[in-house]
A = this chain, B = another copy of it.
Amino acid sequence: MKCKKCGREAIVKLRHYNLALCREHFIEFIEGRVEKAIKKFKMFKKSDKVLVAVSGGKDSVSLWHILVKLGYEADGLFIRTGKEGLIKIAERIVEENAKILERKLIKIDATEYFEGLSTGEIAKILRRPVCSICGTVRRYLMNKVAYEEGYDVVVTGHNLSDEATVLFGNILNWQIGYISRQWPYLPKTHEKFVPKAKPLVLNYEEDIRLYARVTGIKFLDTACPFSLDATTTVYKSYLTDMEKKQPGITIRFFTGFLRNKNKTFSAEEEDLKLKECKVCRYPTTEEVCSFCRLRGKVAKVVSKT
Residues of chain A at the chain B interface (Cβ within 8 Å): 171-174, 176, 231, 234, 238, 241-242, 245-246, 249, 252-253, 256-257, 259-260, 263-265
Question: B174 touching A171 by the CB < 8 A rule?
Answer: no
The listed residue (B238, B249, B257, B264) touching A265 by CB distance below 8 A is B264
Measured between beta carbons, the chain B residues less than 8 angstroms from A234 are 242, 245-246
Known: A264-B265, A265-B264. A174 touches B257 (CB 8 A): yes
* Given A171-B171, A234-B245, A176 contacting B260 (CB threshold 8 A): yes
Number of copies: 2
Q: Is the CB of A176 within 8 A of B263?
A: yes
| Least CB separation from A172: chain B residue | B253
Are A174 and B260 in contact (CB-based, < 8 A)?
yes
Q: How far is the CA of A193 from the CA of B172 in the complex (A)?
A: 32
Cβ–Cβ contact B260 & A172, under 8 A: no
CB distance from A177 to the nearest CB of B (A): 11
Please give the distance in Å from A303's CB to the nearest CB on chain B: 37
Report chain B residues within 8 Å CB of A172. Answer: 242, 249, 252-253
